[in-house]
Amino acid sequence: MGPLVHEPLPVVVKAAETAEGRARLYQDSRSVERAADNLRAGTLSRLARHFNLGVGSTADDVMDAAARKLGRPHPELRHTLLDFRPQSEQQLVQWAQEIERIEQEAMTG
């Protein structure tokens, strides 16, 4: 076996297909924690970008901006977006729906 060789292939994979494939892997492995971490990171990243917080922003910066925009207490948002850890697939789905509602409300409200 020789060294690895990079070979460009004429294939483009859509982001949605990649995300769906990862989701299936997490589901098959029952990796609720890993899936939650990815959902959390994506939500925080999109909110930070929406609020123009910059690359050096922290999760608390995002919470502050979202709390101001939504008129909700910072601790409440922090619990939902950062501190809550789903323990089952059912909790993961319910939590994912809640963080999606928060994100949509923050971006449209």
Q: What's the rounded Cα separation, in Å, for the pair 80 and 82?
A: 6
Would 66 be classed as within a structural domain?
A: yes
Confidence class of residue 106 from pLDDT cuts 50, 70 and 90? very high
Would 9 be classed as within a structural domain?
A: no
Would 95 be classed as within a structural domain?
A: yes
Would 45 be classed as within a structural domain?
A: yes
What confidence tens digit (pLDDT) does each residue in 71-104 have?
999 999 999 999 999 998 889 889 999 999 999 9
What confidence tens digit (pLDDT) does each residue in 36-77 have?
998 999 999 999 999 999 888 999 999 999 999 999 999 999
Would 6 be classed as within a structural domain?
A: no
Would 50 be classed as within a structural domain?
A: yes
Model confidence at 2: pLDDT above 80 = no
- N-to-C CA span, the chain: 57
What confidence tens digit (pLDDT) does each residue in 7-32 have?
676 767 676 776 677 767 766 766 78
The tokens of 17 are what? 């297909």
Structural domain range at position 84: 31-108
Model confidence at 4: pLDDT above 70 = no
Q: For residue 49, how many other CB atoms are within 10 A of its CB?
A: 13
What pLDDT does 16 receive? Answer: 72
Residues present in the chain in total:
109
- Of 69, 31, 28, 27, residue with least CA distance to 48: 69
Q: What's the rounded Cα separation, in Å, for the pair 3 and 29?
A: 32
- Of 52, 34, 33, residue with least CA distance to 106: 52
- Of 78, 69, 73, 62, residue with least CA distance to 109: 69
Number of domains in the chain: 1
Q: What's the rounded Cα separation, in Å, for the pair 26 and 44?
A: 20
What pLDDT does 1 receive? Answer: 61
What pLDDT does 54 receive? Answer: 86
Would 20 be classed as within a structural domain?
A: no
